[in-house]
Amino acid sequence: MDIVVLFSALVTATLRYATPLMLAGLGGMFAERSGIINIGLEGTMMVGAWAAVYGSFLSGSPWVGLLCAIVAGLVVAAMHAVASIHWRANQVVSGTAINLLGAGLTEFAMSKIWEQAGQSPRVTAMPEVVNLPIVGKLNLFIYIAFLLVLISQIALWKTPWGLRLRACGEHPLAADTVGINVIKMRWYGTLLSGFFAAVAGASLSIGMVSRFTNGMTSGRGFIALAAMIFGKWSPGGVMLACLFFGLSDGLATICQIEGIRIAPEFFNMAPYVITILALAGVVGRSTPPAAEGIPYEKAH
């Protein structure tokens, strides 16, 4: 294959694989910055992917599908918020329940609505826009992802709202003392995680393949959590980590196309290996928000 064509294919594959990770990683970051662990990103992505296809199937519009995905993601996130914030349940257990719910619910809906297992009918997909040099046209979700990274960076680090959110994840008692509503801010963080994860799911179903298939997230929610840790809970860091992980998937694809005999599992395990090294302090210390996962009860 010509070197320019090869490079173009690698860049396109990297952006394509990195987009859902970037979106889900931002969602996990906002939740944990507020003090709530949300390992239910995988299940929320699954529900979002299914809702996007169903909305597009009924309306013929991918934009309606995206709206349906967002609504579904917010509902799932609200369930996690009620369990974690108000009931003060174990947040890891709640997130695990959402993952199981997402997988089971979407499979059940597939069998009841389309009366077939495996995959849905094809639907109208999100369009590709802007013919860029080398990479050509890219799916609109890729541009949405980078725009949301920029907005998240500004919101988290340059606004009073972002300062309040981070305070609730670091020292909620101190935040409460100065008048910040910790419960409300944690709701914001959790709902944002549902929003981002649902858009990530939609980017898979109506962005990549124009249909829903059972298990289509394939662990991307967990890889997004790994990217969040490797990116040190920062929008810019999450973006760079996801691009690196996307590059791993892109290299696996190119190796298969070129017939290079390297097991794709070698590239697939890279995100997890890098995250373990990051947690061990080998590639830079990753310190989570201090109050992450600790339920908060307002003092009376």
pLDDT of residue 56: 96
Low-confidence ranges of the chain (pLDDT < 70): 1, 134, 264, 275, 278-285, 299-300
What is the identity of the amino acid at 248?
A: S
pLDDT of residue 118: 81
pLDDT of residue 290: 94
Pick 3-279's CATH classification: 1.10.3470, 1.10.238, 2.40.50, 1.10.3210. Answer: 1.10.3470
Tokens at residue 244, please? Answer: 């690196």
**Containing H/E element for 26?**
helix 3-34
SS3 of 153-212: the string is HHHHHHCHHHHHHHHHHHCHHHHHHCCCCHHHHHHHHHHHHHHHHHHHHHHHHHHHHCCC
Sequence spans of domains, the chain: 3-279
Q: For residue range 235-276, what is the model confidence (pLDDT) as tens digits?
A: 999 999 999 889 888 887 777 777 777 776 777 777 777 767
Angle, CA 27 vertex, CA 126 and CA 166 arms, to 5°: 145
* Of the candidates 242, 230, 245, the residue with the CA atom closest to the CA atom of residue 281: 230
Q: Where are the beta strands (DSSP E) in the chain?
A: 128-132, 136-139
pLDDT of residue 278: 65
Q: For residues 106 and 211, is the Cβ–Cβ distance under 8 A? A: no
pLDDT of residue 273: 77
